[in-house]
Amino acid sequence: MTDPLNPATSEDADLHDPAAPAVRLTGGTMVLGGRTVWREVDVTVGAGEFVAVLGPNGVGKSTLIKAILGMLPLTAGHLTVLGHPAGHANQHIGYLPQRRSFDPNLRIRGIDLVRLGLDGHRWGLPRPRWRPKAGEASGDRVTEMISLVGASEYAHRPIGQVSGGEQQRLLIAQALVQQPRLLLLDEPLDSLDLPNQASVAGLVADICQTGVAVMLVAHDVNPILSYLDRVIYLAHGGAVEGPPEDVITGETLSRLYDTPIEVLRTRDGRLVVVGQPEAPAHHHDRHP
Amino acid sequence: MIAAFGPPALSWNLSSDLHQLFQFRFMTNAFAAGTIVAVVAAPIGWFMVLRRQTFAGHTLAVVGFPGAAGAALIGISINDGYYAFCIIAALVIAAVPRARQGGYSEESAVIGTIQAFALACGFLFVTLYAGNLNGVNSLLFGNFLGITTGQILALAGFAVVGLAVLAAIGRPLLFASIDPDVAASRNVPTQALSVAFLVLLGVAAAETSQITGALLVFALLVLPAATTQTLTARPWRSLALAVVVALAVTWAGLAVSYFTPYPIGFWVTTIAFAAYVLAHLPRLAARARVHVRAGPTP
């Protein structure tokens, strides 16, 4: 019998085809509650690529991430993730949802949260820690990921009592601990101060260097701009995909949103998008 | 019952005290039942506190009251009434769509409605039954006299099944409780777990009601968990400690109420409350020290 929580374990062979794109969406259309969120969207994320998903609020960026996870079915179109139908290779995907911070009274340590990323889907109770089974490497993997993201100092404190940036690092460690081939990060830089934005962006770029494909939803492209391979700009009508310098231009965005948009480049290389249509008051994106 | 043998008297002789404590069948039965209930209530209550479902837990316990009163009215076993009503109410609460984070208002309102209706039904059943008022008191505030061997067997049966289920779903339930979105993305069946947990909570509430009464179940469902979650942030350690605290509280409560004229529900709750306050003292003291060091604020 196959493990119901890991439906793809028996098909691991195709998962290790390095040429298979991490995500291939063609003609994707999503209708939620009678409203078309996006239509005819094509997205390709190659293995090891760093891709940003951009666009105004309410345009369905989080919805796109959930579709890739198989949590929301496409209304139309074709989607494969790591060579499988969406939702069938999730054990190879690290996911960081759009966050809420944890309740300050939540008495669970950061390290426990990271460990759940490794084994939280398995039935049963954890083996008592004072008698680890011979050859068990999970403890090592957990501490290794925590030190990779630079969270060793506060991983033993209750998660609700560390700062937002520290929580975000621990959650990235949680997403990474299972050695995923695709990372889906939904606004990981939101609510962080500028130095933390820069350091988390650098951390994600380093992870990407190790061959993990990254899809990162962002509001502001600037903290990640220098690391990006490609960007996807989402709109209700469709999407534009390409290298940042081709996509984030007044001409392309004006065409996409059908409204005059200007892109200014500041002296230090930051991009400022002026005239971008702001959210229609739906916010389906935030509260699906 | 006690009066026939003279009131129990506490002495400095521990062995004579213990001999007095266990000389009657009803006391050994009470200890057996209390032990079973503590072992079930503490771990399930621990998850309830973690999942912020204490209101649901309280409602399930209150539902036990009409269950027991209704069973007495139609002349079946009171314990069957507890289990049946608590488990049915758990399924009703589970059918209410659970609002996502920050949006518990709908759930609370529905649960509150169920709670009010349950209490009203209980009152009606008691009135129809026209039984003695002592009976109502023990349904609401607990009683440890007259626990039968059959009742202990039922408690043990439900306890074994409940704990086995909890042990099977423990880790994914923890994952789904603190990190539902990520758990769902890893194919953890969060909805099914949530229903299963409410049924477990119904069983725990039904069992605890039989010792502490419907209104004081929190003594064993909430207080041990809230106490040990303060003491340690290691999840499995604090869960195990909660069982230890619940056992200590139950045994102490039974012993003290045997030697005093005051009821079991009061003692179990008071001792659990004392443990909770003690566990919070170090943190309160630390906060007070910070205040003193910072000097009086203008």
pLDDT tens digits, one per residue of B65-122: 999 989 988 888 888 999 999 999 999 988 876 655 444 456 788 888 989 999 999 9
Ramachandran region of residue B9, left (φ > 0), alpha (ψ -120 to 50) or beta? Answer: beta
Q: Do residues A284 and A32 make contact, with C-beta atoms less than 8 angstroms apart?
A: yes
CB A261: neighbour CB atoms within 10 A?
20
pLDDT band for position A288 (50/70/90)? Answer: very low
Confidence (pLDDT) at B1 = 42
Instruction: Quick: pLDDT tens for A4-34.
Output: 444 444 444 445 565 679 999 999 999 998 8
Confidence (pLDDT) at A285 = 45
pLDDT band for position A237 (50/70/90)? Answer: confident
Residues 6+ apart with CB under 8 A from A248: A54, A221, A231, A233, A263, A271, A273
For chain B, give the percent of residues with pLDDT over 70.
91
Q: Which residue has the higher pLDDT, B112 or B168?
A: B168
Across the interface, do A95 and B182 touch by the CB < 8 Å criterion?
yes
- Which of A123, A170, A172 is the best substitution to test chain B (most B C-beta atoms within 10 A)? A123
Confidence (pLDDT) at A128 = 66
Confidence (pLDDT) at A270 = 86
Confidence (pLDDT) at B134 = 59
Question: C-alpha dihedral over B177, B181, B183, B186, to 10 degrees?
Answer: 170
- A274: which strand partners? A262
Instruction: Considering only the C-alpha atoms of chain A, give the largest distance between any 2 of them, rounded to a whole number of Å.
Output: 65
CA-atom Rg of chain B in angstroms: 20
Q: What is the pLDDT averaged over residues A36-42?
A: 92
Is the confidence at residue B148, as pLDDT, over 90? no
Q: Does residue A116 belong to the interface with chain B, where contact is any CB pair within 8 Å?
A: yes
Confidence (pLDDT) at A79 = 95
Q: Which residue has the higher pLDDT, A145 or A19?
A: A145
Is the confidence at residue A54, as pLDDT, over 60? yes
Q: Report the range of poorest mean pLDDT among A72-81, A96-105, B37-46.
A: A96-105
Residue A143 backbone dihedrals phi, psi, to 5 degrees: -70, -35
Size of interface A-B (CB pairs under 8 A): 91
| B188 closest CB neighbour out of A120, A128, A157 | A120
Confidence (pLDDT) at A133 = 52
CATH 3.40.430.10 fits A21-103+180-274, yes or no: no
Q: Does residue A106 belong to the interface with chain B, where contact is any CB pair within 8 Å?
A: yes
Q: Report the range of poorest mean pLDDT among A134-143, B2-11, B120-129.
A: B2-11
Structure tokens at B193: 């777990």
Q: Report the range of poorest mean pLDDT among A252-256, B149-153, B246-250, B270-274.
A: A252-256
pLDDT band for position A139 (50/70/90)? Answer: low
| A71 closest CB neighbour out of B175, B178, B184 | B184
Q: Does residue B234 belong to the interface with chain A, where contact is any CB pair within 8 Å?
A: yes
Confidence (pLDDT) at A9 = 43
- First-last CA distance in chain A: 34
| A113 closest CB neighbour out of B167, B179, B229 | B179
Which chain B residue shows the shortest CA-CA distance from A160?
A: B233
Across the interface, do A119 and B171 touch by the CB < 8 Å criterion?
yes
Is the confidence at residue B245, as pLDDT, over 90? yes
| B186 closest CB neighbour out of A4, A90, A158 | A90
pLDDT band for position B132 (50/70/90)? Answer: low
Across the interface, do B172 and A287 touch by the CB < 8 Å criterion?
no
Taking all residues of chain B, what is their mean pLDDT, rounded to a whole number? 87
Confidence (pLDDT) at B25 = 87
Q: What is the pLDDT averaged over residues A232-239?
A: 87
HSE-CB at B202 with a 13 A cutoff on CA atoms is 23
> Does ipTM exceed 0.95?
no
Confidence (pLDDT) at B170 = 96
Q: For the whole model, what pTM was predicted?
A: 0.87
Is the confidence at residue A97, as pLDDT, over 90? yes
Across the interface, do A112 and B170 touch by the CB < 8 Å criterion?
no
Interface of A with B in 156-175 (CB under 8 A): 157-158, 174-175
**Domains parsed from chain B with CATH numbers:** 22-215 (1.10.3470.10)
The domain locations on chain A are 21-103+180-274
Q: Do residues B190 and A97 make contact, with C-beta atoms less than 8 angstroms apart?
A: no
Interface of B with A in 142-181 (CB under 8 A): 167-172, 174-175, 178-179, 181
Q: What is the pLDDT averaged over residues A177-203?
A: 90
Taking all residues of chain A, what is their mean pLDDT, rounded to a whole number? 84
Across the interface, do B234 and A119 touch by the CB < 8 Å criterion?
no
Q: Does residue A127 belong to the interface with chain B, where contact is any CB pair within 8 Å?
A: no
Q: Does residue A34 belong to the interface with chain B, where contact is any CB pair within 8 Å?
A: no
Q: Do residues A201 and A223 make contact, with C-beta atoms less than 8 angstroms apart?
A: yes
Dist CA A144 CA B125 (whole Å): 61
For chain A, give the percent of residues with pLDDT over 70.
84
Confidence (pLDDT) at B57 = 92
Across the interface, do A112 and B234 touch by the CB < 8 Å criterion?
yes
| B183 closest CB neighbour out of A107, A112, A120 | A120
- A84: which strand partners? A81
